[in-house]
Structure 1
Amino acid sequence: MLKYTAIPILCLTLFWSCNQNPKVSSNETNPKLVVGIVVDQMRYDYLTRFYNQYGEGGFKRMMREGYNCNNNHFNYIPTKTGPGHASIYTGTTPKYHGIIGNDWYDKTLKETVYCVGDTSIRSVGTNVSSGQMSPHRLKTTTFADENRLFTQGKGKTIGISLKDRGAVLPAGHTANAAYWFHGGEEGIWISSTHYMDELPNWVKLFNAEHSVTKYLTEWNTFHDINTYTESGLDLNAYERGFNGKDSATFPYPLDELKDANGGFDILKTTAYGNNLVTDFALAALIGEDLGQDAVTDILAVSYSSTDYVGHNFGVNSKEIEDTYIRLDKDLERLLKGLDDYVGKNNYTLFLTADHAAVNVPAYLQSVKIPAGYLNHAQTRRRFESFMEQTFNSAELIENISNDQIFLNRRLVHTMGLKLEEVQERIVHELINYPHVYQVYSATTMSTSEFTIGIEALLQQGFNQKRSGDILIVPDPAFISYPKTGSTHGSGFNYDTHVPLLFFGKGIMQGSTHIKTEITDIAPTMSALLGISFPNAAIGQPLDFVLE
């Protein structure tokens, strides 16, 4: 059973060689390095619910020595991975940065597009298409971009994540590199020609060591499972598990299960995926010489396994508890690496999440909380019948996805219909459907101003060029998902309330319950560095966080 991992041999070798002639910084104000940590699908209550399971050097150290914003929320819908990472680093919402989902229907191309997919470039490090990614659909700058501009390109930016979008979007347009994990039969870290023509030597060496194979072992609980009292029963009806194993219960023999679960991709859906990210981040720290001179560098790290585990097992599972106990160990390892290589008072770090998650609706039903599952097929049949009866054509529906309806606007015009009237007729129809909480039209989103409630969150996520004609909000805790595992995406507190911790140079010690928003992070980092805010930022610097 793996309980912790040491810094890879590559890191130690580079560490000692680099420190034979250490660089000396003369900068007494700005940190040498800003580290942004995004934990994918982390609910705020994971800080408090698992608090007694954490050691002193990870989450608790950040909370004890740094600043804890206890009432931090996303301020838009949809709460998804792509929009979340983009919003954290741009200081704005999908309304302005344009990343309206992980993927969405493109009204011009008439096809679904992926938020970072880019067929105009090539993969680097692999021959398959997994590397054809770039930030070209991100309309605005990140604070990492602004730091690159401010430092005349001298300050480096490196993005790292198991997920391509978790590496690409935070790093921004001008990054030196973004790296993500390609599983399958290869189990390597890759990039794209947006950043480089070939992987640097330190990445090639890291991949050549095949360090990922050591994690294809048994995944058992870090502590005695009987001490995991902060989560539900290990054997229950609310978890999916892995192909090839009859029950979603510990332990999991990963080497035996890998062939039926995507090869090395199985590691993403275990706590060991976070070990991989920490290993690679520590190697990048040294391989890229981050934080070694007076010009501020930025390292954007996203931990994705928490999301994969949450989707698979749900937010009340033993698996999610174990994943966070192990993540805490990884954070301690990362902080120690930063202390040793950059210096304790030479870096600034923030930790947040790209969204939270709802409890498994089937479980909520079992404890008599309103919740359930959406039947989209049934709803679509009813809706198509309405369109035939009302407008004599179901062809007016061009696409339905992401709780949005896209109309065929050319056909609307050809048929002599008024777009606004068609939209309003649909709104009045859909609001009567089961488990539809609210419905709004694109016209309403474009012509009205909402300042509070779900309406305001929808509006901040509505992009006039990219979003649909109709926006639908399902009832609280009603999701379109299998009855095992869980998901996210709404504007309710279970999806919007996420941690926000600041730590390190220039940061006050303390905590607050004043409401903060995810879009405040980038302006706060920009204010700390004395650089321009990202060009479409709407958030405000959190003055009470800064010394």
Structure 2
Amino acid sequence: MKKFTLSFLLVASAIVSAFAQFTEDKPKLVVGIIVDQMKYDYISRYWDNFGEDGFKKLVDEGYFVRNGQYNYAPTVTGPGHASVYSGTSPAYHSIVNNHFYDREKGKSVYCVDDDRYTTVGADTKNGKKSPYRLAVTNLSDELKWASNFRSKVYTVSIKDRSAVLPAGHRADGAYWLDDKTGNWISSSFYMENLPEWIEKMNNAKKRPIDQYLKSTWELSLPADRYTASTEDSTAYESLFPGKSEPTFPYDIKKGVAADRVRAKSGRKYDIIKGTPYGNTVVTEMAINILDNEGLGQDNFTDLLGVSYSSTDYAGHAYGPQSMEVEDMYIKLDGEIATLIKSLDEKVGEGNYVIFLTADHAGAQNAGFMRDRMNFEAVNIKSKEDTKVIDAYLSEKFGEGKYVASNYSGQLYLDRNLIAEKKLDLEEVQAATAEAFMTMPQYAAAILGKDLERNEYTLGYKGLIYNGFNPRYSPDVYGVLKSHNVDYGKGGTTHFSPYRYDTHVPIMFYGWKIESGYTHAPHTITEIAPTICSFLNMNYPSGCYSDPIIIPLEDED
């Protein structure tokens, strides 16, 4: 009996030892960094102006996927964050756009709005959010399950959707900036009250964000160092509040005083989002989460999702050719260096893994394309196109407002009207496609019915197919010609299935990642299964992508 007991204990000890070794052979912390509207070529274009400890460290010491692509359209923030963390496309996770027409509700809805919940951290409505529209599990969810809920998951961004969608359904905290109070807020979906340390930050007499409102955005380097950009003032940029020209420096305090729109709505802190300080407050909050929540301090891998969104605001306002965007990335390079240094100090070098990508890239300014590239590009207005389509359908099927919603060619028909008139939906879709093609700004029009019954794999049809969800997607896709944008004359936007909107950086750094790069094609939906393979756990439920094969250091 004693021999049996001893043998049993030895075997049990060996099993426990082997299990401990297996479970410990993984990073203590995953840090997911998403840079909003980051084009792939920003790394090479701005390389000479970066420091040694930010983007250069990630490239030189990490693994750089140089041909990283979005494999669906439309390319916008909500679907981007959902896809990176779930490892699948809108066809499966159902976040088809930031805002989209809900046929059941008969109105446009926002991807993370949820009136069942309340704001935590401020007396505003900005926290009534949840991930309930995310129809699959994501990396954060799978991490929770794999650890029997002992892993911690936190996300932070100045945008609500950029915090909510990566956080998944069981996060310990998802935080975003309230543009009315300057507070960090959350939703009652996650918690009843903010942690005491966040309450203390929000209620402090001298908050950093209030100091930033009184600051000035100045160039990081002498103006002649910005060789990747145009001259400082061009016709392709929007104006900062209180400015008559889009030129440095930008006095934020004067901007607040001059901004009547934000003053009327009480959203004075919103102006911070369009300056580098929007990224700074995210870095500060991420480090505070590390400090106060003890991330990466045990054998249960934690996750910290960090989304930098001020880059998107700058791109929309000034365009990718501007000095403002270049300076935004020079300053972001410093933020990333600060975050890496903090991770080394608090978690330990080699104990964490970072992945960095973008939620989409961005188009060039249409005016810039016309004037300086001799390329025929136009700025369209969806409202004008809708009038053309409604008139065409009225002439064919009788008077009526057939278009329920249309943005940048994503058109939803009023199916109730079609039913009342006893029309065939596919016939009306086909006529709508005909109407699109009467307008020269469109390259193609694709019927929702065709996307339901056919499978497309190549070109923009393949990307639109991957983004098509029968319940939530449009009836007809009008595909704009290259560099035609549904946007104003200043700055730029993103939305299309073209390469300038889909090509993004994908980087892995830390833990056992060996330095290197690949030009092989990979998609952003391969990031989540790659991290899952590092952590020896299941892939998210809708993930049909394989992990990227990344060289790891030999343990011996």
Give the shorter-chain TM-score range. Answer: over 0.9
Which of 196, 199, 202 is 2:197 aligned to?
Answer: 202
Could you tell me whether the CA contact under 8 Å between 2:382 and 2:408 is conserved in 1? no
Moved more, 332-341 or 247-256: 247-256
Q: Amino acid of the residue matched to residue 205 of structure 1?
A: K
- State yes or no: 1:298 paired with 2:303: yes
Instruction: Give the aligned residue type for 2:219.
Output: T
| Structure 2: distance between partners of 1:383 and 1:410 | 17
Match of 2:249 in 1: 251
Matched, 1:215 2:215: no
Choose from 516, 534, 545 the match for 2:540.
534
Matches of 2:233 and 2:404, distance apart in 1: 43
Match of 2:323 in 1: 318
| Residue of structure 2 equivalent to 1:89 | 85
The 8 Å contact of residues 528 and 546 in structure 1, kept in 2 or not, is answered as no
Letter matched to residue 162 of structure 2: G
Counterpart for residue 363 of structure 2: 358
How many pairs align?
A: 523
5 Å-filtered alignment, 1:138-153, equals 138-153=134-149
Q: Deviations over 1:242-270 (max 9, x none)?
A: 12111110001111211334422211101
Counterparts in 2 of 1:257 and 1:510: CA distance versus 1, 3 Å: same
Structure 2 gap ranges (5+): 1-20, 260-266
- Corresponding residue for residue 5 of structure 2: none
2:272 is matched with: 267
For residue 346 of structure 1, what is the aligned residue in structure 2?
A: 351
Note the alpha carbon deviations across 1:90-129, whole angstroms, 9 max, x for none.
0001111010111111000001111111111010000110
Asked whether the 8 Å contact 1:506–1:528 carries over to 2, the reply is: no
Identify the residue that residue 447 of structure 1 maps to in structure 2: 453
**Secondary structure of 1:36's aligned partner:** strand
- The alignment partner of 2:401 has SS state of helix
1:283 and 1:523 map into 2 onto residues whose CA distance is 28
Aligned equivalents of 1:413 and 1:265: distance in 2?
A: 43
In 1, are the aligned partners of 2:393 and 2:431 still within 8 Å (CA)?
no
Q: How far apart are 1:414 and its partner, in Å? A: 3.3
Give yes or no for contact 2:408–2:486 (8 Å, CA) kept in 1: no
Aligned to 1:6: none
Residues 267-292 of structure 1: per-residue CA shift (max 9 Å, x gap): 11011111111011000111111001
Superposed displacement of residue 408, structure 1: 2.5
What's the secondary structure of 1:543's corresponding residue?
Answer: coil
CA contact 1:244–1:260 (8 Å) conserved in 2: yes
Distance 1:392 1:545, change over 3 A: farther
Task: Provide the rounded CA distance (Å) in 1 between the counterparts of 2:363 and 2:410.
Answer: 20
1:30 corresponds to: 26
Distance in 2 (alpha carbons) for counterparts of 1:530 and 1:129: 40
Give the letter aligned to residue 211 of structure 1.
P
Q: How far apart, CA to CA, are the structure 1 residues paired with 2:30 and 2:54?
A: 17
Instruction: Choose 487-496 or 203-212, whichever is displaced more.
Output: 203-212
Q: Which residue is equivalent to 1:493?
A: 499
Match of residue 508 from structure 1: 514
C-alpha deviations, 1:403-460, integer Å up to 9, x for none? 2222232332332322222212222332232111111111100001111100010011
CA distance in 2, matches of 1:492, 1:546: 33
Structure 1 Cα separation of the partners of residues 22 and 92 of structure 2:
38
Give the greater-gyration-radius structure (CA). Answer: 2
Measured after TM superposition, the shift of residue 396 of structure 1 is 3.1
Shift of 1:201: 1.2
- Distance (Å, rounded) in 1 between the aligned partners of 2:349 and 2:22: 16
Contact 1:104 1:402 in 2 (8 A): no
Q: d(CA) in 1 for partners of 2:22 and 2:473?
A: 48
Matched to 1:196, the amino acid is M
Question: Could you tell me which residue of structure 2 aligns to residue 331 of structure 1?
Answer: 336
Q: Deviation of residue 38 (structure 1)?
A: 0.1
Give the TM-score of the pair, scaled to structure 2: 0.92
1:414 to 420, 438, 442: 420
The code of the aligned residue for 1:172 comes to G
Q: Which residue of 1 aligns with 2:39?
A: 43
Q: Which of residues 185, 191, 194 is equivalent to 2:186?
A: 191
Distance 1:222 1:304 in 2: 19
Deviates more, 1:373-382 or 1:492-501: 373-382
CA apart distance, 1:230: 1.1
Structure 1 residue 482 and structure 2 residue 488: aligned?
yes
Partners of 1:40 and 1:429 lie apart in 2 by: 34
Call closer, same or farther: CA 1:401–1:294 in 2, change over 3 Å: same
Aligned equivalent of 2:57:
61
1:427 aligned partner: 433
Q: Identity rate of aligned residues, in percent?
A: 40
> Structure 2: how far apart are the matches of 1:377 and 1:213?
39
> 3-state DSSP class of the match of 2:521?
strand
**Aligned-partner residue type, residue 212 of structure 1:** I
Corresponding position of 1:18: none
Matched-pair contact (CA < 8 Å) for 2:382–2:407: no
User: 2:239 is matched with which residue?
Assistant: 241
Letter in 2 for 1:45: D
Task: Output the CA distance in 1 between the equivalents of 2:381 and 2:413.
Answer: 21
- Kept in 2: contact 1:26–1:294 (CA 8 A): no
Q: Does the 8 Å CA contact 1:34/1:347 hold for their aligned counterparts?
A: yes
Q: 1:268, 1:304 within 8 Å by CA — same for their partners in 2?
A: yes
Deviation at 1:377, TM superposition (A): 3.6
Deviation at 1:225?
Answer: 1.6
One-letter amino acid matched to 1:329: G
Matching of residue 523 in structure 1 with residue 519 in structure 2? no
Are the aligned partners of 1:105 and 1:401 in contact in 2 as well (CA < 8 Å)? no
Aligned in 2, Cα 1:102/1:377: closer, same or farther, shift over 3 Å? closer
Match of 1:19 in 2: none
Secondary structure in 1 matching 2:238: coil
CA distance in 1, matches of 2:320, 2:402: 39
Shift of 1:370: 2.5
What do residues 295-342 of structure 1 show as CA deviations (whole Å, max 9, x unaligned)?
000000000000011111111111111110000011000000000000
Residue 170 in structure 1 maps to residue 166 in structure 2: yes
Of 363-372 and 26-35, deviating more is 26-35
In 2, are the aligned partners of 1:161 and 1:179 still within 8 Å (CA)? yes
CA contact 2:388–2:435 (8 Å) conserved in 1: no
Q: Which residue of 2 aligns with 1:458?
A: 464
Using the alignment, how far apart are the partners of 1:243 and 1:222 within structure 2? 21
Query: Could you tell me how far apart the structure 1 residues matched to 2:552 and 2:430 are?
Result: 47
CA distance in 2 between counterparts of 1:336 and 1:139 reads 36
Q: After superposition, where does 1:7-26 map in structure 2 within 5 Å?
A: none
TM-score (norm: length of structure 1): 0.93
Q: Which residue of 1 aligns with 2:227?
A: 229
Report the alpha carbon displacement of residue 546 of structure 1 after superposing the two structures with TM.
4.7
Q: Deviations over 1:375-407 (max 9, x none)?
A: 434322222221111001323333323522222
SS in 2 for 1:499: strand
Aligned equivalent of 2:75: 79
Taking a change above 3 Å as real, the CA distance of residues 506 and 393 of structure 1, as seen in their structure-2 partners, is farther
